[in-house]
């Protein structure tokens, strides 16, 4: 499954986090992200009717996007999201049971970690990448210390207040990509604003990768 994640990350190493999205918004917002170059999207499970949104996006985009669930906290949720077409499980924490359940169902799993110890525990359990969370607490210099000891094969994805102003610093420190929440999507934004955000962030990422 690492190869599957790498396939989508190679096109654009950004994960769109659609926290708070409704099923009625989901397809149009996902289309806007796709048009801007995004190929990975997650719907956090604390959103309204998240399984419905996941199913709608997965049906619309099939293999064109890696669609998943975020804020997955329990093993039973892993099977629920897979049944709706999700292939990606993202968590804010390092829950070995959730990681192992995801691996058993052949899903890409990205647990959250706030320390190198948590990151190593997640990798040992089978994680395909690590969500470095919350990035507000983990500066680029701290991330560089992580990167010095964590295997290069393990992707590190900072999440939390990431936008066009700080991508380059984290990238140069060893980030493999980013999860984007509020800088990309908020429930009260218009579709035009979301599309503009997506385009700006995708351009910033492409520029950063050339540094």
Q: How confident is the model at residue 210 (pLDDT cuts 50, 70, 90)?
A: confident
Q: Which residues are catalytic?
A: 42, 131
Q: What is the pLDDT of residue 2?
A: 87
Q: What is the pLDDT of residue 95?
A: 98
Q: What is the pLDDT of residue 69?
A: 98
Topology at the third CATH level for domain 2-209? TIM Barrel (3.20.20)
What is the tens place of the pLDDT at every residue in 144-186? Answer: 999 999 999 999 999 999 999 999 999 999 999 999 999 999 9
Lookup: tokens for 207: 């520029």
Q: What is the pLDDT of residue 55?
A: 98
Q: What is the mean pLDDT of the segment spanning 45-50? A: 98
Question: Which residues fall within 8 angstroms of residue 20, CB to CB, at 6 or more apart?
Answer: 44, 47, 48, 186, 187
Q: What is the pLDDT of residue 169?
A: 98
């Amino acid at each position: 499954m690492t190869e599957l994640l790498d396939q989508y990350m190679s096109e654009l190493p950004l994960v769109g986090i659609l926290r708070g999205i409704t099923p009625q918004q989901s397809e149009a917002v996902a289309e806007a992200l796709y048009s801007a170059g995004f190929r990975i999207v997650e719907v956090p499970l604390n959103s309204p009717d998240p399984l419905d949104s996941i199913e709608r996006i997965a049906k619309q985009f099939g293999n064109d996007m890696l669609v998943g669930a975020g804020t997955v906290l329990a093993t039973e949720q892993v099977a629920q999201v897979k049944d709706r077409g999700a292939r990606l499980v993202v968590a804010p924490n390092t829950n070995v049971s959730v990681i192992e359940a995801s691996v058993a169902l052949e899903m890409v799993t990205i647990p959250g970690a706030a320390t190198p110890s948590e990151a190593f525990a997640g990798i040992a359990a089978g994680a395909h990448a690590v969500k470095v969370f919350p990035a507000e607490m983990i500066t680029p210099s701290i991330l560089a210390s992580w990167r010095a000891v964590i295997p290069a094969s393990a992707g590190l994805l900072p999440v939390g207040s990431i936008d066009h102003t700080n991508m380059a610093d984290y990238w140069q420190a060893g980030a493999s990509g980013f999860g984007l929440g509020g800088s990309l999507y908020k429930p009260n934004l218009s579709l035009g604003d979301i599309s503009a955000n997506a385009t700006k962030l995708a351009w910033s990422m492409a520029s950063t990768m050339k540094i």
